[in-house]
Structure 1
């Protein structure tokens, strides 16, 4: 018995070719992301010296509009806590250590 070979057509290109961002739109999006990160970073830098003593290597989710932050040992739980209180808000998660980074390259 012979098996039939499937002749798959390889499609190359964008999934949604009708969605094309201009360079201006890309630059605006990057600037908004950077501004959001800087607002979160300033809140993290204010509370980091106190929290590093008691919660070293825990995670901290920051909601910059209210200035509120949430702390937990697990990154998923801290994000869940924050999303329960602010369901539609953007958050940024930091690790409470010297750099605020959650991993390394």
Structure 2
């Protein structure tokens, strides 16, 4: 008696259809992100000099509508603090260093 192996078919494509953005939609999204960044950057710049000495390479999440920011060495913790205080709001994360970037290319 021979056992038959179940044949599996390979999945092709994605489960969800991919989003096809027009150039105008891409430009609009980019402009919205830049405008949001420009609202968060002054808050970061205001406290960067004092935090860079004591919290170098920690993370800082800014919620621009309230002007509040949260600082922690763990990225997940700083996100959670911001979400608990401001649920449903969008925030921006900086790294407390000279450039404010969270990574390098």
Whole-angstrom CA distance in 1 between matches of 2:3 and 2:21: 48
1:76 aligned residue: 76
SS at match of 1:93: strand
Whole-angstrom CA distance in 2 between matches of 1:30 and 1:88: 21
Question: Deviation above 4 Å: which 4+ runs of structure 1?
Answer: none
Cα 1:13–1:60 change in 2 (3 A) is closer
Unaligned runs of 5+ in 1: none
SS at match of 1:94: strand
Corresponding residue pairs, total: 104
Whole-angstrom CA distance in 2 between matches of 1:66 and 1:76: 21
* Aligned residue runs from structure 1 range 81-92, under 5 A: 81-92=81-92
TM-score by length of 1: 0.81
* 1:4 and 2:5 are equivalent in the alignment: yes
Unaligned runs of 5+ in 2: none
1:45 aligned residue: 45
